[in-house]
Amino acid sequence: MNLPSLLILATGLVCALQAGAGVDAKTGRDDTTRDALEVLVDACLPCHHPDSADKKAVRDWPDALDLPATLAAEDFVTPGDAEDSLLFLMVIDGEMPPEDWAGVDGSGPELSPEQTEALRNWIDAGAHLPDADELAVARTRGAGVIARVLAAEGETPPAAAPVAEGQAETITPPPPAPPSFGARLWRLLGHTHASVVHFPIAFIYGAALAELLLLLGIGAAWALPQARRFCLYIAAISSIPAAGVGWILGETVRAEITLTQHRWLGVSSALLCVVCLWVSEKSVRAATANPWARRTTWLIFLTAVLVAITGHWGGVLTFGEAYFEF
């Protein structure tokens, strides 16, 4: 065999080896992506899908299987670095899936070590996108998962796709009964929270502003003491129903740490508004100067700060973590 033939043979052998390595790499990549898709379908898609009733989940992440949009979100997934990816960090910190999520198979909210590792491997490997066939399989499987979740939550699952010839028919559970009149009325009562809650917020701030002006020696002749007293009365009276309907509203959405913080801060704010009014009345009705007046001042400011913190967590629940970014 002459030298040119040997060179041609060697070149062909090198190309064959490179092609084989490429196939192996592609297969490995596909395995990583496929494993991650299974995790996304089982643990993320039940909340993060276009028809989800959890508006915050849809706002933050509209579709768990829309991987191009997922990768385009800032800091959500950093290809090649799972430890710098918000998606993975929320999983290992226990924030996601939420604590009340029972899991598709009833195993609970936490991902298994194998699922967590599959998510890590996919991101560390570069967070490759699936091919059309893999995505089609994932979406078909996801449709079944969503139907089971909606049926468990008492909602009507989406209509099943037509069954192809020769394909086994999927048994769809019967649609659940519609909610009762009492359940719908209870839900409507919770939805009044958005309108009722602004009364205690506005009036406790009004009381704090009146108190600040009085401390600065401004407005004593403007009936500000009476205005402050009026604001405290309205804040205390309206804070109780605002906290009550807010608690009811919290029962209709999926629980999470932010919701728990907001609910208990809201209850604390309502109670502190009542305490403010009681202390203020003790001071106003006293015949002579007394220590209640000083306590009224710092209690009003403390309540205003607590209401502001509570409102911030309400904004996070409604608009997401980035709602207050500069």
**Residues 189, 129 within the same domain:** no
What is the model's pLDDT at position 14?
46
**Residues 39, 137 within the same domain:** yes
- Dmax over CA atoms of the chain, in Å, equals 120
What is the model's pLDDT at position 16?
47
CA distance 208 to 301: 6
**Residues 203, 317 within the same domain:** yes
**Residues 133, 253 within the same domain:** no
Looking at the structure of the chain, the number of domains it has is 2
What is the model's pLDDT at position 239?
95
Cα distances from 127 to residues 37, 80, 114, 143, in angstroms, run 11, 7, 17, 23
Long-range contacts of 68-71 (CB under 8 A, 24+ apart): 68/129, 71/127, 71/129
What is the model's pLDDT at position 19?
43
Question: Does residue 303 form part of some domain?
Answer: yes
CA distance 18 to 14: 6
Q: What is the residue range of 106's domain?
A: 16-152
User: What is the residue-level pLDDT of the chain in tens, covering all 326 positions?
Assistant: 555 455 455 555 545 444 444 433 333 345 788 888 888 888 887 778 777 766 666 666 778 788 787 777 767 788 888 887 878 887 877 777 766 665 555 555 577 788 888 888 888 888 888 888 888 888 888 788 777 766 665 555 455 445 455 444 444 445 555 678 888 888 889 889 988 999 999 999 999 999 999 888 887 677 888 899 999 999 999 999 999 999 998 876 655 678 888 999 999 999 999 999 999 988 888 766 666 667 888 999 999 999 999 999 888 877 777 677 76
**Residues 237, 299 within the same domain:** yes
CA distance 54 to 61: 11
Question: Does residue 42 form part of some domain?
Answer: yes
What is the model's pLDDT at position 29?
46
Question: Does residue 160 form part of some domain?
Answer: no
Question: Does residue 167 form part of some domain?
Answer: no
What is the model's pLDDT at position 218?
81
**Residues 119, 209 within the same domain:** no
